[in-house]
Chains A and B, each alone.
Chain A
Amino acid sequence: MSAITESFPSSAWFDDLVARAQVDTTAMERLGVAELRFGMEIVLPDGSRPFFGLVLDGYDIDAIGPITESEFAPEVVFSGALDAWVEMIGWIEANGPADSAHSLNGLTIAGVPFEARSSDAMGSDKFYRFMGTLQAVFDAAWSELPVPAGRG
């Protein structure tokens, strides 16, 4: 996988992340089925907000984007500044699966540095329902995980 500072955010980066997460299909299936359209927004220093999506569909995971939020129609959006994204992913790359302070849950609970926004209660509750699966996807950024053949 490319270094985070060189290629994030990009569709290639998210594609690689998802490919890594799906290497161990047994582990992902052990987490159980999930149904969620998860939006990811990166707030860049110039104020632009590239948007990507993760689609959890049964045991399948797909990365989509860049795409507009309205086109993707997310149920919940995980949004934060580029620095916060780099810090989160860099920590996982260096240390392994996120600790509580660097987890999706820990980073959103106070609304900073990330916000988990949804238009209704079902969206935020789905964020909680599938937290383990979502975190497993991001934990796949850990560089000691095997890189899928043909990528990296």
Chain B
Amino acid sequence: MSLGLDLSYLERSARGEFDLGWLKETSSEWGMRAVPSKTGLTMRDIAIGSYGVVPDHAPRRTMAPRGSDVASDVPDMGYTINDKSEVWADNVLDLYEEAVSRQWSATRDIPWGDLRPLDPDVEHAMCQLATVLSEVEMVAADFPAKWLWRINHDFIEAKMFLCTQVMDEARHTEVFRKRALANGGGLGKATAVVERFLQLILDAESYDEGSALMHLLGEGIVLSLFRAGAALAPSPVEQQIFRLCMQDEARHVAYGTMHLRYRLERDPSVAEDFHAYLDKGEEIIAMIFSTPEIVEPTAILAAGSVEAACAMGAEAGDVLRRQIIGDYLKRCDHAGLDRRGRLHLPDALIAGVPGAQVEVAV
């Protein structure tokens, strides 16, 4: 492939005969000046003039910065996601800024030195939960990474946000791996059920499908696990780990919810497609509540020991179950997708969740 090297230009420019076409033939908005807001120069601050206009359909498939003067002979990069509604969310600029501002370090920001020996039951439970979380978090990096290069550059803010997610998830994988290894317990068991869910996300045939399964459903579940982990933390170390991860995960879920809302507002006809994705995905919720490697460590952390967890039975996990399903329904509702009455979950799992069952008018 010829890159189009112009040898004669080397000679002309050496003589000082510059081309200056880039300077003369420009349609840039000279004089348009972005003004920093009080936290600095944000992405929203630079969304000004034509630079802030994100096209509903990208006119080209290039890496040219949106708003730049694009040469007519730029190559086609072959992007497959060229409609804004496929990736956009109205909160994506703010979420990007938030993500960059609220980054943290699993090495520096966790008080690892405060770890203390735990009851063996609790240490085993924490290590098993850390194993599962270290396993599942990386899919939320793999999935955006798989789709990033297919997303048109005109939607750069959405791509940038997804890049922050990739970094967030790398850090989550890191921090849970570190926790498993930091207090003498070590890694626990990886299961086929979890791996099948990860495969479902990774093999999604469209960004729509994968985003619904991951941002909305999967990360919503993990967000609830993080909340539970922070609430049940046996020491300030775990409390800090789960709190920081919770903040990150809630950003991803907020993107997923608002992305789905944006998508449905522009094309309500795709609602049935999303229902179908979630019909399939919700079976995962049922499977998770049938997976000992997830249910039992959480119950032991809640109860304090294996014996106490056995005595409590399902009660130990009820708060988590109600929160996962309740929050999920609220997010679907906010996105404009009413899943009430359509949930693909056994009655035993939706019992006690407000609004999960359709009320029959008397």
Instruction: Give the number of chain B interface residues (Cβ < 8 Å).
Output: 36
**How distant is the Cα of A106 from the Cα of B246 in the complex, in angstroms?**
13
Contact count A vs B, C-beta below 8 Å: 89
Q: Which residues of A contact B228 (CB under 8 A)?
A: 109
**How distant is the Cα of A88 from the Cα of B21 in the complex, in angstroms?**
67
Contacts known (A32-B102, A33-B101, A100-B232); A130 close to B253, Cβ less than 8 A? no
A59 touches B39 (CB 8 A): yes
Binds A, one of B22-30, B204-212, B236-244, B270-278: B236-244
Q: Which residues of A contact B253 (CB under 8 A)?
A: 125
B327 touches A124 (CB 8 A): yes
Give, as a whole number of angstroms, the nearest-CB distance from A124 to chain B.
7
Q: Name A85-133 residues within 8 Å CB distance of B.
A: 97, 99-101, 103, 105-106, 109-110, 120-122, 124-126, 128-132
Give, as a whole number of angstroms, the nearest-CB distance from B95 to chain A.
9
A128 touches B239 (CB 8 A): no
Instruction: Give the number of chain A interface residues (Cβ < 8 Å).
Output: 29
A132 touches B319 (CB 8 A): no
Give, as a whole number of angstroms, the nearest-CB distance from B321 to chain A.
12
Chain A residues in the interface with B (C-beta under 8 A): 31-35, 58-60, 97, 99-101, 103, 105-106, 109-110, 120-122, 124-126, 128-132, 135
A120 touches B236 (CB 8 A): no
B243 touches A131 (CB 8 A): yes
A122 touches B334 (CB 8 A): yes
B244 touches A132 (CB 8 A): yes
A110 touches B239 (CB 8 A): no
A32 touches B98 (CB 8 A): yes
**Listed residue (A59, A120, A125) with the most chain B CB atoms within 10 angstroms of its CB:** A125
Give, as a whole number of angstroms, the nearest-CB distance from A34 to chain B.
8
A131 touches B239 (CB 8 A): no
Question: Which A-chain residue is minimally distant from B94 (CB atoms)?
Answer: A35
